[in-house]
Amino acid sequence: MVRRSKRAAGRSPPSAPTSRASPTSSPSRASRSTPTECSRPSLPHPPNDPPTSPTHSDPDDRTHPRREGAAQMISSTPLVRAVGAAAAVAALVFAPAAAASATTADTGYVRVAHLSPDTLQVDISLSALAGGTVLYSLTGVGYGGVSNYMALDPGTYAIAMRPAGADPASAPVVEASIDVTAGAAATVIAMGLNQDLETTVIDDDLSTPPADTARVRVFQASVDSDEVDVSTEDGTELASAARFGDVGDYVDVPAGDTSFSLVSGTTEDLDSAALAAGTAQTLFVLDDSAGALTVVPAIDSAAVVQAPVGGVETGGGALASEQQQAQIVTLAGVAGIAAIALIAVGIRSRRQGVAARAADQARVGDRV
């Protein structure tokens, strides 16, 4: 199930200054007052702030094969695809209320993902709806960051996002509410270009797949692609014509290192990810710094074990005096997409026919 809400009107988003023209898109997206998902911005997304935490490896260091063209010879003008792939991996600060330990059966789980490529770092707070006590806070979260699950008692909670370092009492640029159910998990996602920033809540699968398999689904978060098809190397279809914000059903696939085909229009990108046996995973489709599509996994079921043990009071009890530091879970497979401030304009000329594709693949082989 997917539940969406828009940013409150009139509030200034935490974006970098830009002269980027307002994107346009197909009017079929009823949930957007200003549709954007069908547009490919003609100017680069503004960069995010430099990282304030230790630098991770550059996502461009990964081998990322890319095949362009179609079976017939199709020509097009060079395509400029620009993405701000930046973020600081900042501390996820747990501040659980002083309550008795809760079991998985009477505890719900919520995590937060920042998937807006041109939105600067944000501070995120989760509060009890009754009383407004802040129970969890995440600071300096940038593009591509996904938090650990936060353990909560059943009830309704408010999530607010503010520009990093802003006064906690200031008006948030993004607000969302979420109903937490015992034994269930959900992901709250901030996504889209900054001027149309919105939140989506998706329910996560905590069940265990059969032996030697992984349970995966696709969430299409690329702002540069109209529609995306995703399949595994053995031809298992995970998504067909997925538009921005679409989430697919879970599919059981063989566990292990898996290659994926990501097709948008006449262009195919190849990526891979390690799918651990016995896990459920969400595969986020994002735009990498070179303008190619990449699939990056976040473990759903196994990540629950990283959640804090104690429960919290939905009515807003006293916060624990000792705050615990916990790791921000970045989207595995990007190898730093949430840690390196990087913006690149990928200028790719689509070549015609088989000969051009062969030459492109030869260059990939040379890099390997």
**Alpha-carbon span 41 to 295, nearest angstrom:** 21
pLDDT above 60 for 9: no
The pLDDT value given to residue 141: 87
Mean pLDDT of 87-110: 49
Residue 345 β-bridge partners: 82
pLDDT band at 129 (very low <50, low <70, confident <90, very high): confident
Residues 273 and 58 sit within 8 Å (Cβ to Cβ): no
% the chain with pLDDT above 70: 54
Question: What radius of gyration, in Å, describes the C-alpha atoms of the chain?
Answer: 20
State residue 303's pLDDT score. 58
Phi, psi of 330 (to 5 degrees): -85, 160
Confidence band, pLDDT 50/70/90 cuts, at residue 357: very low
Cα–Cα distance for residue pair 116/7, rounded to 1 Å: 13
Chain position carrying tokens 């595994």: 232
Note whether 95 and 319 are within 8 A (CB): yes
DSSP element (H, E) containing 367 = helix 353-367
Confidence of residue 144 (pLDDT cuts 50, 70, 90): confident
- With a CB cutoff of 8 Å and minimum separation 6, the contacts of 251 are 215, 216, 217, 236, 237, 238
Are the C-beta atoms of 4 and 32 separated by less than 8 Å? no
Cα within 13 Å of Cα(207), Cβ side: 10
- What residues contact residue 23 under an 8 Å CB cut-off, 6+ apart? 36, 39, 41, 193, 195, 196
- State what percent of residues in the chain have pLDDT above 90: 40
Please tell me which residue, 190 or 345, carries the higher pLDDT value: 190
Judge contact between 256 and 244, C-beta under 8 A: no
To the nearest 10°, report the CA torsion of 107, 200, 340, 346: 150
pLDDT score, position 304 = 56
Structure confidence at residue 125 (pLDDT): 93
CA distance 344 to 367: 19
pLDDT at 164 over 60: yes
Question: 10 exposed, middle or buried (CB, 10 Å; 0-12, 13-18, 19+)?
Answer: exposed
Cβ count near 5 (within 10 Å): 14
Residues 292-346 have pLDDT tens digits of: 999 888 998 755 544 333 222 222 222 222 222 233 333 333 333 333 333 333 3
User: Cβ distance 59 to 289 under 8 Å?
Assistant: yes
At 252-271, the pLDDT tens digits run 999 999 999 999 999 999 99
How far apart, in whole angstroms, are the C-alpha atoms of residue 266 and residue 280? 30
C-alpha–C-alpha distance, residues 29 and 244, integer Å: 10
Instruction: Tell which residue, 338, 303, 309, has the closest CA to residue 148.
Output: 303
Q: Flag the least confident range among 5-19, 123-137, 212-226.
A: 5-19
| Structural domains of the chain, ranges and CATH numbers in brackets | 107-204 (2.60.40.10), 205-304 (2.60.40)
Alpha-carbon distance of 315 to 189, in angstroms, equals 24
Please state the rounded mean pLDDT for residues 171-180: 91
Do 145 and 338 contact (CB within 8 A), yes or no? yes
Looking only at Cα atoms, what is the longest distance across the chain? 67
Query: Which of 83-97, 176-190, 218-232 has the weakest average pLDDT?
Result: 83-97
| 103 or 151, higher pLDDT | 151
Burial of 328 (0-12, 13-18, 19+ CB in 10 A): buried
Residue with more model confidence, 348 or 243: 243
Amino acid, res. 266: T
Q: In this model, does residue 159 exceed pLDDT 80?
A: yes
Range of lowest pLDDT (44-48, 166-170, 243-247, 281-285): 44-48
User: Which range, 2-11, 148-157, 355-364, is most confident?
Assistant: 148-157
